[in-house]
Amino acid sequence: MKRQLVVITGLSGSGKSTGARALEDAGFFVIDNLPLIMLPDFLSLTDQGYAKVATVVDARSCDFLGDCNEVLNRIKAEGHDVDVLFFEATDQDLVKRFSETRRRHPLVQKEGILSAISREREMMSELRRLATIILDSSGLTVHQLRQRVLAVVLGSEDHEGQLSLQVQSFGFRNGLPLGADLVFDVRFLDNPHFVEELRPKTGLDADVSDYVLSQSDYKAFLVKLKDLLFFLLPRYSQEGKTSLTIAIGCTGGRHRSVAIAEDLGPYLLGTGCNVLVNHRDLGKGVS
């Protein structure tokens, strides 16, 4: 099976972990600190497994780097697509990051951090020479670096629409949903619970949905909600989010919130995002 393989390497503190997490969120199977010489064996053992693989190779694997070029050529000869993504940054940025995080550079000894950085640059020079992508993280925020990684590995077209949306209905009397990013309270709308023939039904039934969605207050609310989401979604994506939960709440989570979540789902599909609609409290009693 042909794979897409990304070897994530570079200097300690330059952003490799951020790059690995970004690719993991994008669907890659990520292995941390696998000795490069063992990579062909891993691919052979998982031949029918992962189509997208990323592995982090850094100074911790220095004793196992071996002949990098030979290993990578062997993988390419087997038909796999291989990129070597090399992270680096200025000495000033690297020293600042280690100081801020209070982490110890993996190669630091008596000579101090600048000497350790210099030694690591020399140690990783062969992998840098083989790099297909060199990414300088100097001055970048974590979110900017994440976006840069996804853009260079996936390409701008593949990266568009990576934001996954979950639209979840719920009832306030059962508590707020865990992990909700945006919560909207629709209890201001007339409640189908107080219409006898609608009470035993749910927002999935056409007559309940019509009752909720035909209200003039809902139509005004929907216009404002769409404007807000149209403004927010691309900015969340630019900020580096890959998933967002939009929670719609009524009293019990069976009528109003369900109808509105179902109505909102098709609109959000039109934004190019991946959309999943679910109803947390649909079976918990009347609302």
Q: What is the pLDDT of residues 44-85, one digit of tens each?
A: 877 667 888 999 987 666 555 557 788 888 888 888 889 999
Please report, rounded to a whole number, the percentage of residues in the chain having pLDDT higher than 70: 92
Pair (147, 237) in one structural domain: no
Residue 148 shares a structural domain with residue 37 = yes
The whole-number pLDDT of residue 253 equals 95
Domain that holds residue 182: 164-279
Using alpha carbons, select from 134, 130, 125 the residue that is nearest to residue 69. Answer: 130
If phi > 0 it is left, if psi is from -120 to 50 it is alpha, else beta; for residue 136 that is: beta
- Domain end, chosen from 159, 193, 209, is at 159
Q: What is the pTM of this model?
A: 0.56
- % residues pLDDT > 90 (the chain): 37
Whether 202 has a pLDDT exceeding 60, the answer reads yes
Question: How many structural domains is the chain composed of?
Answer: 2
Integer Cα distance of 282 and 170 in angstroms: 8
Give the chain as a 3 state SS string: CCCEEEEEEECCCCCHHHHHHHHHHCCCEEEECCCHHHHHHHHHHCCCCCCEEEEEECHHHHHHCCCHHHHHHHHHHCCCEEEEEEEECCHHHHHHHHHHHCCCCCCCCCCCHHHHHHHHHHHCHHHHHHCCEEEECCCCCHHHHHHHHHHHHHCHHHHCCCCEEEEEEEEHHHCCCCCCCEEEECCCCCCHHHCCCCCCCCCCCHHHHHHHHCCHHHHHHHHHHHHHHHHHHHHHHHHCCCEEEEEEEECCCCCHHHHHHHHHHHHHHCCCCEEEEEECCCCCCCC
Q: What is the pLDDT of residue 251?
A: 96
pLDDT given for residue 174 in this prediction: 92
Q: 285 in a domain, yes or no?
A: no
> Are residues 203 and 146 part of one domain?
no
pLDDT digits (tens, 9 = 90+) for 11-48: 998 999 999 988 888 888 998 877 778 888 888 877 66
Cα diameter, the chain: 81
- pLDDT recorded at residue 127: 80
- CATH code, 88: 3.40.50.300
Last residue of a domain, one of 138, 159, 180: 159
Same domain, 153 and 12: yes
Q: Which of 137, 159, 181 is the last residue of a domain?
A: 159
**Are residue 271 and residue 169 in the same domain, yes or no?**
yes
In a domain, 284, yes or no: no
Instruction: Give the residue-averaged pLDDT of 213-220.
Output: 96
Give the chain's length. 287
Same domain, 13 and 149: yes
Tell me, yes or no, whether 155 and 170 share the same domain: no
Looking at residues 157-177, what average pLDDT do you find?
79
Q: What distance, in Å, lies between the first and last C-alpha atoms of the chain?
A: 52
Q: How confident is the model at residue 124 (pLDDT cuts 50, 70, 90)?
A: confident
Contact 244, 236 (CB under 8 A): yes
Do 8 and 84 share a domain, yes or no?
yes
Whether 44 is covered by a domain: the verdict is yes
Element (H, E) at 234: helix 216-239
> Nearest 5°: phi and psi at 119?
-65, -40
- Say what the pLDDT of residue 159 is: 47
Q: Which residues of the chain form beta strands (DSSP E)?
A: 4-10, 29-32, 52-57, 81-88, 133-136, 164-171, 182-185, 243-250, 274-279
Please check whether residue 287 lies inside any domain of the structure: no
Confidence band (pLDDT; 50, 70, 90) for 161?
Answer: very low
Same domain, 142 and 23: yes
Is 286 within the bounds of a domain? no
> Is the same domain home to 145 and 169?
no
**Model confidence over 231-250: pLDDT tens digits?**
998 888 877 777 899 999 99
pLDDT digits (tens, 9 = 90+) for 83-108: 999 999 999 889 888 888 778 787 77
pLDDT of residue 160: 46
Q: State whether 248 and 176 are in the same domain.
A: yes
Residues 170, 146 share a domain: no
